[in-house]
Structure 1
């Protein structure tokens, strides 16, 4: 099926740990929807899907990843005048450390 009939920007956030914060900066009011990979698939097929977020009236907006999974973020203009310019920054979960692996 075709993607939804409104314009949106898609960010593939890849697998993320629980507690990772997503900071979204927008230049206009838009919807932000943080969803898992299966829900993103349902979104593109225009089926019911679940997400975290909603109408972003201020910027930046911060959302926290609730569980480890492959995540997607959508910024969309549904119900608004136009698609906002957006940027996304990932902030590591508190207390998490970057592990270094050595070749064996």
Structure 2
């Protein structure tokens, strides 16, 4: 199994609800990639994969979980120098507004 030739930080976000906001704080410009377990496996095998995110030129950057399920977050320096320090904070999905029915 080949692996990416660049270093990366991996955060296993486990099960998350759609709408949960992931706030990523970085010490330098880096790629921030949010992906499903299947795409994370493809990333690790250096195959084509899909993700949300991209180059983060400012910090913090916020990504929203598009659908409920298991998610992985990768911070990598592909195309950049060094390795950025990173931290991740979860911000709960906004709850749906309550609608009261008129009687």
Name the structure 2 match of 1:4. 4
Q: CA deviation at 1:3?
A: 2.0
SS of match in other structure, 2:15:
strand
Query: How many residues are treated as equivalent by the alignment?
Result: 96
DSSP-derived class of the 1:42 partner: helix
Tell me, in whole angstroms, the C-alpha distance in 2 between the residues paired with 1:68 and 1:48.
Answer: 23
Corresponding position of 1:27: 27
Runs (4+) of structure 1 moved beyond 4 Å?
A: none
Secondary structure, aligned partner of 2:40: helix
Note the residue ranges of structure 1 that are not aligned, 5 or more in a row: 97-104
Distance 2:88 2:75 in 1: 10
**Superposed displacement of residue 51, structure 1:** 0.1
Unaligned runs of 5+ in 2: 97-103
Residue deviations 1:6-59 (CA, integer Å, cap 9, x gap): 000000000101000000000000000000011001100111100000000000
What's 1:102 paired with?
A: none
CA distance in 2, matches of 1:90, 1:2: 31
- Normalising to structure 1: TM-score of the pair? 0.90
Q: Deviation per CA, 1:48-89: give whole Å up to 9, x if none.
A: 100000000000000000001110000000000111000000
Larger radius of gyration: 2
